[in-house]
Amino acid sequence: MQSTATISQMAEEARNATAHHVHEARDARELTGSQILCEALIREGVDLMYGYPGGAIMPFYDALTSYPALHHVLVRHEQAAAHAADGYARATGKVGVCVATSGPGATNLVTGLATAFMDSTPIIAITGQVARPFIGRDAFQETDILGVTQPITKHNFLVKRIEDLAEIIHEAFRLARGGRPGPVLIDVPKDVQNAKTLYSASAPISSIEHYRVTRVPHPSATAIEKAAHLIGEARQPLIMCGHGVILSNAYAELQAFAGKTRIPVITTLLGLSAFPETHPLAIGMPGMHGPAHVNRAIGQADLIIGVGLRFDDRVTGKVSEFAPHARFIHIDIDASEMHKVKRAAVPIVADAKAALTALLDAVATGNHDQWLNEIRSWEAQATERGASIERNLECPDPICILEAIRAETGGDAIIVTDVGQHQMWTARHYTWTRPNSHITSGGLGTMGFALPAAMGVKMGLPDATVWVVAGDGGIQMNIQELATLKQQGITVKVAIMNNGFLGMVRQWQHFFHNHNYSETPITGPDYVKLADAYGLTGMQITRRADVQAAVRKAMQTGGTVIIDFVIESEANVYPMVAPGSAITNMIEETAWESED
């Protein structure tokens, strides 16, 4: 039998619900689906989106002119809309939004959605769909975009009833930003956009119980206790931090934890800028192109504390030989990542910030200076060896380009890289000190990402200095977005490392295919003339002595500036680990190879 208090409480809840529905009815207005879409986006705090109109999404664009709070950016290709939304989300921590029509418009978003999915970026993709009576009849520009995107989104929705539209939009935003973030797609048939129903701005958000994300658990007290015990026993431990530290804004907690335990810190490609590389405990990036001293340290470690990372194959190399003497503490918000690559002695399913906070209280003050000094001695040996190699001092060198950008920006720029050799040079040789200043496509490795993503970064953080670093292959994949930058008055600075090759593919051909450079030489436009054609500023630099002055001039020139740095055509990224090899088995630069 229920207590009187419980019955009274239920009665009060019923009265409140009745009052809410009465208020909601008074507040309701008859709106079209397109208007409801705009209203719900504004309610979610959206003020910027990227897209391209077309037939099936046209009612939404018709309504959009009545909502000046929603700034729409007309890109030149839908893939760029997804990448721009991705860059905006990574820079701001908000949910990025992109829009496309049905059929080819929707499928052009797919690469951007897969990029966001692999790197855990929260974006909402809104696509038009043919009217409901035509779905499944091979209508003009019909594509089953739900079927296409199911593997590369956290969830996707087909809006079958206008009455569900607002709730679906709010639920999609909650899903995108909740737990491990990621992309969500909403497919809206054209007749749903045109239909009308009552809409109330006071209606509750996210009442679709079926799709609710499981609440992120607090770190297990038992797991924290076990982890603290392992940390106390370790003699050669390493902290390996990934993108999860950035997503959870756990910068201070990571520094405090590393400082208390005195454990050296490694940052993965997507973890770069999570921990300042000027910190005395920072030792570098691991994996296929990680410096020798970092990979050697992993090979000798007795404990790896992985924070917010997937143990990707480019990090581990041959899994059975990755940290063969180490036990693993794995912290990740996604339970499915546990034991997927390396079995964790202590799995901690939790947000990185919460887990590090708990560990900080549980661990004793440590001292691993002897271990750190040993790693530093390996680093010094590699530095001395590298300095002894004779180099081409005439043409621009990737490292001097990166040093010039850092010097002229004071290290305060946000660097958005494309994918290829330049990406690895930047990851390795730019000194990351500003939190969340490194933005790249890591998991999918999407060429053409950088230019539109930088547009999103700059529009999300208008006061930031944003540099694109790209290769001459990747920059041409979405180069049409220079027109968008010009039309929107967006200022980004673009450094092209131009070697006349698809450089990373050529490098693999060099080492693993007997120098057979099949379909990797690539030509491009005159970037100075191209910039001028778009109404932008362009420069070409062919001498190393001119690099610093060119970067300074770019910083002093208003608007978007493109610098074509003509680098050595067959320069390689070193070290390099052959696919399938242990990361301690590295191909290193030699004087003989440099002369060759």
Catalytic residues: 78, 140-141, 190, 504
Beta carbons of 502 and 524 less than 8 angstroms apart:
no
448: left (phi over 0), alpha (psi -120 to 50) or beta: left
Residue owning tokens 């209508």: 139
Strand-pair partners of 565: 497, 541
Give CA torsion, residues 198, 201, 204, 210, to 10 deg: 60
Neighbours of 519 (CB within 10 A): 9
Helix runs in 28-103, H state only? 33-43, 58-64, 78-92
CA distance 596 to 593: 5
Percent of residues in the chain assigned helix, strand, coil, to nearest 5:
45, 15, 40
Residue type, 86: D
Beta carbons of 222 and 95 less than 8 angstroms apart:
no
> 530-540 burial by CB neighbour count: b if 16+ within 10 A, else e?
bbeebebbbbb
SS3 560: coil
Phi, psi of 379 (to 5 degrees): -60, -45
Residues making up the chain, counted from first to last: 596
CA distance 78 to 52: 6
Residue owning tokens 């930058």: 485
Give CA torsion, residues 345, 347, 348, 350, to 10 deg: 160
Quick one: CA dihedral 464, 469, 474, 480, positive or negative? positive
CA distance 51 to 75: 6
Query: Measured in Å, how far apart are the chain's first and last C-alpha atoms?
Result: 88
